[in-house]
Amino acid sequence: MSDIDKLVRNRSRILVLVGVVFTLWQGGDVAVKLLPAQSALLSIANTSVAAGSIMWVIAMLALVLFQFQVRRANAVAVLEDDWSRHIRNKAKQAGFAWTIISIVIAFIIGKFIDLPSDPVLQGLILIGVVSTIFSYVWYEGRVEVK
């Protein structure tokens, strides 16, 4: 495996980390806002927020370290090549589609029950961000044709 391949692999790993941690942090926060005060799940949601926020700092540090790695390897342009831009565009399209689907679902649910706007909007942002990140990783990791 070449140095560039290793950097591509590391990029995917860091994106997975960022996606998972962001989900823990923001998803937990959405759950805290939506759950009733006496819910048994509240402690799990609070733990998720606490763990996620700490891990977010670690994920950002990993991202900064990765950027140093890329610059040291003089690989900024290589990692931003045609294929990378192509799958990034596809990931943005996928993220947009998931967000629209989620908005429609929230809209329909809102017809039957009273949804609080703040956590719902936060949840929609979370879905938009995370679906884009994971779509990119999925496209990047698809098995190559020999």
Partner 1 sequence: MARKRNPSLINHLRQFRVDAGLTQQALAEEIGVTRKTINTVENAVFIPSTVLALKLARALKTDVHSLFQLPE
The residues binding partner 1 (CB under 8 A) are 2, 4-5, 8, 77-79, 81-84, 86, 140, 142-145
Q: Which of 98, 96, 79, 95 is nearest to 140 (CA)?
A: 79
Nearer to partner 1, 5 or 114 (CB): 5
Radius of gyration in angstroms for the set of CA atoms belonging to the chain, rounded to a whole number: 18
- Cα distances from 24 to residues 34, 66, 97, 129, in angstroms, run 15, 22, 22, 13
Report in angstroms how near the CB of residue 12 gets to partner 1 at its nearest: 11
Minimum distance from residue 93 beta carbon to partner 1 (Å): 15
To partner 1, the closest distance from the beta carbon of 18 in angstroms equals 20
Asked if 48 and 24 touch (Cβ cutoff 8 Å), the reply is yes
| Closest to partner 1 by CB, 61 or 76 | 76
Does residue 70 contact residue 3 with C-beta atoms inside 8 Å? no
Nearer to partner 1, 114 or 144 (CB): 144
Rounded least distance, CB 7 to partner 1, Å: 9
Instruction: Write the CB contacts of 96 (distance below 8 Å, at least 6 apart in sequence).
Output: 128
Q: Residue 9 or 64: which CB sits closer to partner 1?
A: 9
Residues 74, 142: Cα–Cα separation, whole Å: 26
